[in-house]
Structure 1
Amino acid sequence: MPRPPPETRAVPRCDGDAEKLLEIVRRTVVELRPQAAEGLQVTLHSVLDRDLGVDSLTRVELWSRIEHEFGVRLPENLFASADTPTDILRVLHSRHGDEAVHPLSSSNSSETLIATGQTPDAARTLIEVLDWHVRQQPQHLHVRLLGESDQQEDISYGALHQGALAVAAGLQRSGLHAGQTVALMLPTGRDFLQGFFGILLAGGVPVPIYPPLRLSQIEDHLRRQAGILRNAEAKVLITVTQAKLLARLLQPQVPSLTRIASVAELTGEGGECVTPPRKPDDIAFLQYTSGSTGQPKGVMVSHANLLANLRAMGRALKVGPQDVFVSWLPMYHDMGLIGAWLGSLYYGYSLMLMSPLAFLARPARWLWAIDRFRGTLSAAPNFAYELCLNKLADGDLEGLDLSSWRLAFNGAEPVSPQTLQRFAERFARYGLAPTALAPVYGLAEATLGVAFPPLDRGPLIDRVQRDAFQARGNALPVEADASATLRFVSSGRPLPGHQIRIVDGSGIELPERSEGHLQFRGPSTSAGYYRNPEETRRVLRDGWFDSLDFAYMAGGEVYLTGRAKDLIIRAGRNIYPYDVEAAVGNLPGLRKGCIAVFGSPEPATGTERLVVLAESYEKDAAARQQLQQEVNRIVFDLTGVAPDDIVLAPPHSVLKTSSGKLRRAASRELYERGEVGRPHLAVWRQLLRLVLQALRGHFGRSWQTCRAALYATYIWLLFWLVTPLTWLVVAILPRQRWCRSFTRTASRLFLRLAGVPFSVTGLERLPSSSVSVLAANHASYLDGVILSAALPPQFSFVAKRELAGQWIAGRFLRKLGARFVERFDLQRSAADTEPLAEALQAGQPLVFFPEGTFTREPGLRTFHMGAFVLAARAGVPLLPVAICGTRKVLRDGQWYPRHGAIHVNVCPPLLADGPDWMEAIKLRDATIAMLLEHLDESERAQRPG
């Protein structure tokens, strides 16, 4: 009979036995993974293999310690069946004659939660997260709203829950059913927080949309929101009281909209709320990527997506209840909604929340709030850091202390290396640590976070050759003092459990330092866009989501280089050029259809500017000034930001294709060269130059793609020629040594015919007269072929047992003398060590891949203990073997081999000082350290743990 999931099973009381058991588990895990000791949380619900990395041999050691320290003998079936410490504790209590089980007390104080770092790990939905805090610490401060004149309003978890229940009751009285959408157009404040959770508790799906900057613009603003409301099929619109009258004008345009109400109205109607059950895969909310496009895209964020992203970000950033987040970010934006608010909700740290308008009016308030409340976390787009640099005088900052600010996230728009450098230099005198600045990458389609930099590292800026990058997309590194360079900022590495890859236009993965389309996947990845299957199919294929951004990878980190689409991000807002172009094109005096809107970096700061390039026949100076004012008004009304530059150009300045489509990128280049409107430079010459540049770049990239495709085809033809012949000969040969020698020769021949530069060093370190164990890193399907070609034929490979049952692979490996071990049956996996120990005693050297498997991500995976325990107990030398280059040649999940050099280095032998568990762990750690020394840049990107 299947057991219920951990969160639904009864939990033994948290007594001295529980504390003792958790300490044994923690001590064993820390010995296994010392680098994970800081911030390690071992609870009664921790899953031994998934959360703590306990493999079969580690279980053997753990079981031995538990039995010794508790003086019991645990049942054999518990070895394989126990998922969590709770399962072990239940058996320990029964062995002591105490079979009674009791749930953990819910009276833990907030101080206890902070001390132990408890989080709602068993929660499956956002509603369960709030319920957990209401049970554990209802009176604890959750959000402090910072109003004008230093006014403060505190909201506890219990108060948030009570207010949300009142909103939910009002929504259900309005006829809201489970799964229906409710638009939330409210400024930052208590009403937004209670309204958002009220929608969830009522069973609805919140749709945050941004409120108008000024009430005088609300009619135009609401008209622009009609596209979102129609796409979302919103049942109710929750907004401010002042907007209700004008909002009713939308109802004829949005057939689904049945009610427009304020939070006060909903909460004043009384009644009770019955929260319908919600599942992890249900939509938690819709995040619309634009509020000004005629075809809005609503990203479907499920509860599972949201919790996976919060947990991955928390693990990467080591956040906890002791942190304090200071935020002015708008709640309709994913960085403010998820990163600031819902992150604080999950991890229990306090959120100091102010209005975005408060920051824009007085940027110093943000920094002084960090000082006053000893903020440890805060985030902003690049423009906000620029605003602080340009608008704040030294007198505004006298006495400022930013020493508590440990992570200053910079995201949501292109990150400028100049901004990072200037901000770090100026605010160092106010206590800001240089390692605090953290450029990050995320987008709504990934829930929020995709890549974060390592902690305590600070910004990493890559300098590359300008010509090579612009012509061929090759990010070739150069020295800091080189000329003609480009600088890109690292956004860090993928979040734990998530992946990033860079592909070309055909979806083929590119090697490191090659620019292409950034794609990502993982448990945080959205299922797509709400009621927009065509757009979903365009960007989501085989589990990979196309970010529509350009980037390259280097050293395991991602560098954003540009936007694949013409999307402009200005002051934290997404602006789609075609909406602005259509609106501006209706102005008399401008040539309709001859307006180009694009983003262009500010040369001094790198901040993206909004540029409007419009053709006009108008020559009169006063009339041209009037036109510019009208353009400025229309753009501001449509997007909420004013254009940085309005260029009225003569006819034929805006470049187009032969079919009449705008060429925004080419027009931007013309603008950036300062050649717009130059009478001495004819349009046909501009067009010819741009065409030649495009052809040169296209030819270079096309030739690279063609050459790579031809090489891949050749490799597979060669593989299917050599492999069957090798298998047939090995099947016929009568002696194992002959089989191994022939396989070695065939592997070397394959590499030679494939044109793979292949080299081996350190073979002289292999013991000639004694048995040994080899431990190699595992990065690709090629690793077995490479070691067959590199090593003498006396070694026996240790392979996973499921291969033994395959007729082709199993027969081949058995002829070569491979030894098979179980990966999934824990009892059998532990038992498999005995035959391996006997093989060593009989003089058979063994080759292990301690990672057990490989992935497409760079770096080492967690090492299993088998090779090290065997080497320590047998007292034989263990030699680390570093394989470099195979992941670049054939990456996991990419059946598209690429040309590249492969090198194998047999490292100096290591010998354990004794046969016990701790010596085996030391042997493993020494192996990892030695491999990291010999692996290339990309493979050193991650360390197991």
Structure 2
Amino acid sequence: MANRHGSRDVQERLLALLETLVRETRPDRDNAAPIGLDSRLDRDLGLDSLARSELLLRVEQAFGIRLPESALLAETPKALLELLQAQPQPTHASSESREKPAPAPPTPSVSDSTEGQPHAATTLNEAMDWHLQQHPQRPHLYLYGGDDQPQVMSYADLDREAQGVAAALASRGVSQGDRVALMLPTSRDYFIAFFGVLRAGAVPVPIYPPARPAQLEEHLRRHGRILNNAGAGLLITATEARSVARLLHAEAPHLRHIVTLADLGEWQSHRKPRRPEPDDLALLQYTSGSTGDPKGVRLTHAQLLANIRAMGEHLEATPDDVFVSWLPLYHDMGLIAAWLASLYYAIPLVVMSPLTFLSHPLRWLELIDRHRGTISGAPNFGYELCLRAMTSERTQHLDLSSWRVAFNGAEPVSAQTMEQFTECLAPCGLRRNALMPVYGLAETAVGLCVARPGRGVIVDRVNRERFSQHGEASPEQDAAAAQCFVNCGPPLPGYALRIVEDQGRELGERREGDIEFRGPSTTDGYFDNPEESEKLRHGDWLRTGDRGYLADGDLHISGRRKDVLVRGGRNIYPYDIESAVGRLEGIRKGCVAVFGDPDPETGVESLVVVAETQEQDPARRRELQRAIADTVVDIVNVPADEICLVPPHAVLKTSSGKIRRAATRDHYRQGRLGERAPPLWRQLTRLALRAGFKRLQLALGRVGDWAYYAYAWSIFGLGLGLFTLVGLLLPRLTWRWRLAHYLTRGMAALGGIRLAVQGLEQLPRERPFVLVANHASYLDVLVLTAALPCSLRYLAKEELERRLLIRLPLSRMGALFVERFDPRQAERDMQEVEQAVTAGDTLAIFPEGTFHADPGLDDFHMGAFLTAAHVGVQVVPVAIRGTRRLLRGQEWRPHPGKVSLHVGSPLTPDGDDWNAALRLKNATYDHILRHCGEGPRRRT
């Protein structure tokens, strides 16, 4: 065999196969250097992981052998030739004709005395405990490596080894809430390490491992930003990472230890970790590993379980199901939808590595057949990869009749791919209605919309012209005039969707806009990233960043709002590629655009790099293209599909110098990138004028800001002066309040503060009550007085009573001053407050006590709620939103803008004791939290 594969003939056949594939995938290589044994498959030939998977399939068919999965990591034809030499002589003429593998080990049924679900569990740890009590020896994982027989792990096996990891982590100083990064391939070690971190009460942070060990150093350098953001003190990884420990310590100062699972086995600790609570952080899911500002989605135990339960309920999951997965465990679909959901529902999980799938795609289908899999899925490219590998010989032995849920998500779903997949595998028993488009995102754990089981793929055909011009998804029967969108189904039980326009107004059915959602697993934001967290929220809704429309309650995705490319289920962000390419000698820095060019039929995006250069020499330009190709592979581990070298000013920019990727992509599609640029003097003049205009705008903006500050405080001062001269002299409190109401409304209107009030009809008219509002700014009293038509008595802190200029107007408005620090005086003050309510006065209280410059709803003091419970009056919650942006704490520079008030339904105390008051407080806090536009304030 070695001689046969080492012959000149075999070498020529291998290179011929490669030449054919490269011509198919890269027809622009006509004048490129010939392919040799030392050519690089990625950098020289531009073959990405999917193209190399196709190459391995052709090699196996041509030589009648089965290559190991490590062949996918071969970087040159020479390495492939060496693997061919190492393969034994095949016993059959072709690998396709091999016998069907032996049946899988039997799966024991769940005990009849249980339902198979830990309904009462509030954390992942408790879910595991339930299974350990009910059926500890039940097989949980079937792990496939290089052998044809799986390694089986029961719940007891997994927990026993995870407990050892937890003890070792404790001995290294890992405590409750600490972040532990995991950079491991799909393997036994990954599952043990992940659950070991949970058992230690810590927070796992999965990051994807390098595709090839040779790129480990560059890979970890890119991940330093994630480790730094997460504040991870320990990284569990492969042995190769030790060589770059110093680099990681420099990139991530919080990182103290880089260990393997074997290292952890050498440590023991008798300290018992504290069990996590439902609202404790359970996972940091990073949405990108290559942006300069990584975003780690915060997910609690309660949020993960809520999403898992919603998905399981919708899919009617039971312990009788079998889940087969090759999905990466650093991705939410592989980690949460496949593994953690299977763990919760006692579903046996059959696992193969993504590398095995890419090298032998049909292995996935073979395992579904072998284990009688019922649930499995992939991104769209996974189905396409199987289609490329299918032949009648390869699929003739498959029986896929057990497959009831074949979901497709994580990237755009192609109806054409789904149709072809169904047609090819219908003879194998695959039912058309098993195909299921899904939509989700890390900010809701994983799942948001799932098509109804058994419905199959439904395509909505809309009028292309009307949709592109007006955003109207009008049904269209004429195929030539139609644009097709896949139906992703309704939101999961307990979740809600809405479509909004750019200004935030909700749109109706079949109108395209931005997709927003809310639900029980909604994240409270990104870890240690308040700015991005603020951008994520739109009131009590979250922005997805995607666009689409609703039809009969089902979601249809039309595109992404951001410039994110999706390749192989991964997000690729342009910025780092553009920066790295811009640093190459010969490339104009800041003049590089990276974007995706989607195939209209499959939805798969090509990665296009457009870079400006003044080089004209053909040889030098080829060197630049090769350098760019190397750089792209180093940064994102996939090759660029097309590299365009263009003259100066061909990459379009905004007036502020930002890359206009969409406009540059349009020029690329129209073939206009090579157009001759205007004369240099004209461009310089235009740029100078734009720059000068921009500077003038900024200067005028600063002048305008200071002018507004002076104007606003003049308005506020004038209003206060009028009230002092007129209002303080009025004999009745109701008259003084009415004057203050109209004055503050006028002050707000003249100051550019737009008030939007909802729920005024909720205010009780005939009886006193306690109004409770959040406190975010000095403007809160002004907007409450302007918005509410009834007279109120504010509770003010006792310190204000000592300030004459403040005490006089507050006293005339009926304010009650309370002591905050002296318990005995505070108790006497609260008795006076209760007497005032008993006498028929309505109180307005800010139970946070004070406010801060940074956003966040603080905990509430109990005084307002004890008063309501003791006296027996209702509490009316009022959520104020927007005042913190208009005038922050410790600042005296107001800004115009919108402020909204949401008046909730009155809450009636169900008793007069502490517990009744506590229930009032919690209900009030929950209402205000939902409507104030801010999350709970984090304690340090």
TM-score by length of 2: 0.60
Letter in 2 for 1:637: D
The answer to whether the aligner puts 1:297 opposite 2:277 as a matched pair is: no
Question: C-alpha displacement at 1:604, in angstroms?
Answer: 4.0
Per-residue Cα deviation, 1:767-823 (whole angstroms, up to 9, x for no partner): xxxxxxxxxxxxxxxxxxxxxxxxxxxxxxxxxxxxxxxxxxxxxxxxxxxxxxxxx
Give distance in 1, aligned partners of 2:608 and 2:350: 35
Are the equivalent residues in 2 in contact too, given 1:144–1:155 (CA < 8 A)? yes
- Matched residues in 2 for 1:525 and 1:268: separation? 39
Matched, 1:387 2:385: yes
Shift of 1:620: 3.2
Q: Is the 8 A contact 2:460 2:484 kept in 1?
A: yes
Matched, 1:671 2:668: yes
Q: Which residue of 2 aligns with 1:527?
A: 524
Deviation at 1:627, TM superposition (A): 2.0
Secondary structure at the counterpart of residue 493 of structure 1: coil
Which residue of the other structure, out of 523, 529, 553, is the alignment partner of 1:556?
553
Q: Choose which of 474, 477, 480 in structure 2 pairs with 1:476.
A: 474
Give SS of 1:597's match: strand
Partner of 1:626: 623
2:330 pairs, out of 329, 332, 343, with: 332
Structure 2 residue runs of 5 or longer lacking an equivalent are: 1-106, 687-754, 766-900, 904-940
Moved more, 639-648 or 170-179: 639-648
C-alpha root-mean-square deviation of aligned residues, in Å?
2.8
Give per-residue Cα distances to partners, 1:188-238, cap 9 Å, x unaligned.
Answer: 111111111111111111101111111111111110010001000001111
Change (3 A) 1:151 1:110: closer
Displacement of 1:116 in angstroms is: 5.7
Residues 179, 205 of structure 2: 8 Å contact kept: yes
Q: Secondary structure at the residue paired with 2:453?
A: coil
Q: Does 1:514 align with 2:511?
A: yes
Structure 2 partner of 1:203: 201
- AA matched with 1:302: T
Distance 1:238 1:112 in 2: 34
Partner SS for 2:350: strand
1:464 partnered with 2:462:
yes
Q: How do 1:381-460 and structure 2 match up within 5 A?
A: 381-460=379-458
Q: Deviations over 1:33-71 (max 9, x none)?
A: xxxxxxxxxxxxxxxxxxxxxxxxxxxxxxxxxxxxxxx
Residues of 2 paired with 1:410 and 1:646: CA distance?
Answer: 30
What SS is found at the alignment partner of 2:147? Answer: helix
Separation of aligned partners in 2, 1:302 and 1:574: 23
- After superposing the two structures, state which structure 1 stretch, 247-256 or 134-143, moved more: 247-256
> Identity of paired residues, percent?
52
Residues 349 and 626 (structure 1), Cα distance of their counterparts in 2 relative to 1, 3 Å cut: same
Distance 1:324 1:167, change over 3 A: same
Aligned match of 1:319: 317
Q: 1:545 to 1:558 in 2, by over 3 A?
A: same
Alignment of 1:536-551 (within 5 A): 536-551=533-548
Render the CA deviation track for 1:445-492: whole Å, top value 9, x for unaligned.
Answer: 00010000011110111111111111121111101x332321111111
2: CA distance, partners of 1:467 / 1:341: 43
Contact 1:166 1:272 in 2 (8 A): no
Give me the whole-angstrom Cα distance separating, in 2, the residues matched to 1:134 and 1:624.
63
Amino acid at match of 1:600: D
Q: Partners of 1:478 and 1:682 in 2: how far apart? A: 47
| Contact 1:248/1:260 (8 A) holds in 2 | no
Aligned partner of 1:491 in structure 2 is: 488
| Cα distance in structure 2, aligned partners of 1:591 and 1:484 | 42
SS state at 1:405 partner: coil
Q: Which of 220, 240, 262 is the aligned partner of 1:222? A: 220
Cα deviations across residues 669-717 of structure 1 (Å, max 9, x unaligned)?
Answer: 22223333256999999xx9xxxxxxxxxxxxxxxxxxxxxxxxxxx99
Question: Distance between the aligned counterparts of 2:416 and 2:136, measured in 1?
Answer: 45
Deviation digits for residues 860-908 of structure 1 (CA, Å, limit 9, x no counterpart): xxxxxxxxxxxxxxxxxxxxxxxxxxxxxxxxx999xxxxxxxxxxxxx
Partners of 2:200 and 2:264 lie apart in 1 by 12
Equivalent residue letter for 1:348: A
For residue 273 of structure 1, report the CA deviation from its aligned partner: 5.0
Matches within 5 A, 1:575-724: 575-678=572-675
Distance in 1 between the 2:618 and 2:398 partners?
48
Q: Secondary structure at the match of 2:480?
A: coil
> Does the aligned pair in 1 maintain the 2:650–2:677 contact within 8 Å?
no
Q: CA deviation at 1:112?
A: 4.3
Which of 348, 352, 355 pairs up with 1:354?
352
Corresponding residue number in structure 1 for 2:248: 250
Q: Quick one: distance in 1 between partners of 2:241 and 2:603?
A: 38
Say which of 230, 233, 242 aligns to 1:232.
230
Tell me how far apart the structure 2 counterparts of residues 426 and 471 of structure 1 sit (CA, whole Å).
37
Give 1:178 shift: 0.7
Structure 1 unpaired stretches of 5+: 1-108, 689-715, 728-892, 896-945
Q: Any conservation in 1 of the 2:110–2:135 contact (CA below 8 Å)?
A: no
Contact 1:492 1:558 in 2 (8 A): yes
Whether 1:573 and 2:570 are equivalent positions in the alignment is yes
SS at 1:402's partner residue?
A: coil
Measured at CA, do residues 601 and 681 of structure 1 come closer, stay the same or move farther in structure 2, by a change above 3 Å? farther
| 1:595/1:157 CA distance change after superposition, 3 Å | same
The normalised TM-score by structure 1 is: 0.60
Per the TM alignment, residue 261 of structure 1 is displaced from its structure 2 partner at its CA by 1.0
Provide runs of 4+ in structure 1 moved above 6 Å.
680-685
- Displacement after TM superposition at 1:437 (Å): 1.1
Structure 2 distance, partners of 1:651, 1:309, is 50
Amino acid in structure 2 at the alignment position of 1:553: L
Deviation of 1:366 (Å)? 1.0
The structural deviation recorded for 1:615 is: 2.2
- Equivalent residue for 2:132? 134
Specify the alignment match of 1:903 in structure 2. none
Q: What is the identity, as a one-letter code, of the residue corresponding to 2:569? A: G
Q: Residues 325 and 615 from structure 1, CA distance in 2 versus in 1: closer, same or farther, beyond 3 angstroms?
A: same
Tell me the residue number matched to 1:736: none
**Deviation per residue, 1:813-864 (Å, 9 max, x gap):** xxxxxxxxxxxxxxxxxxxxxxxxxxxxxxxxxxxxxxxxxxxxxxxxxxxx
Cα pair 1:169 1:267 within 8 Å, conserved: no
SS in 2 for 1:415: coil
Report if aligned partners of 2:286, 2:294 keep a CA contact under 8 Å in 1: yes
Shift of residue 368, structure 1, vs aligned partner: 1.2
SS of the equivalent of 2:299 reads strand
Distance 2:470 2:661 in 1: 21
> Which of residues 367, 372, 375 is equivalent to 1:374?
372
Taking the aligned partners of 2:612 and 2:475, their CA distance within structure 1 comes to 41
Distance in 1 (CA, whole Å) between partners of 2:620 and 2:135 is 65
Distance 2:473 2:679 in 1: 34
2:517 match: secondary structure: strand
The answer to whether the 8 Å contact 1:324/1:377 transfers is yes
CA deviation digits over 1:253-289, x for unaligned, max 9? 3221111111111123233451302111111010000
How far apart are residue 558 of structure 1 and its match?
A: 0.4
Aligned residues: 588
Task: Check the 8 A contact 2:170/2:269 in 1, yes or no.
Answer: no
Indicate conservation of the 8 Å contact 2:181/2:234, yes or no.
yes
Counterparts in 2 of 1:544 and 1:393: CA distance versus 1, 3 Å: same
Q: Any residues of structure 2 matched to 1:143-158 within 5 Å, and which? A: 143-158=141-156
Change (3 A) 1:369 1:583: same
- Structure 2 distance, partners of 1:151, 1:646, is 44
Matches within 5 A, 1:94-173: 111-113=109-111, 117-173=115-171
Contact 1:110 1:136 in 2 (8 A): no
Aligned equivalents of 1:595, 1:653: Cα separation in 2 = 10
Aligned to 1:96: none
The answer to whether the 8 A contact 2:109-2:320 is kept is: no
Contact 2:114-2:134 at 8 Å conserved across structures: no
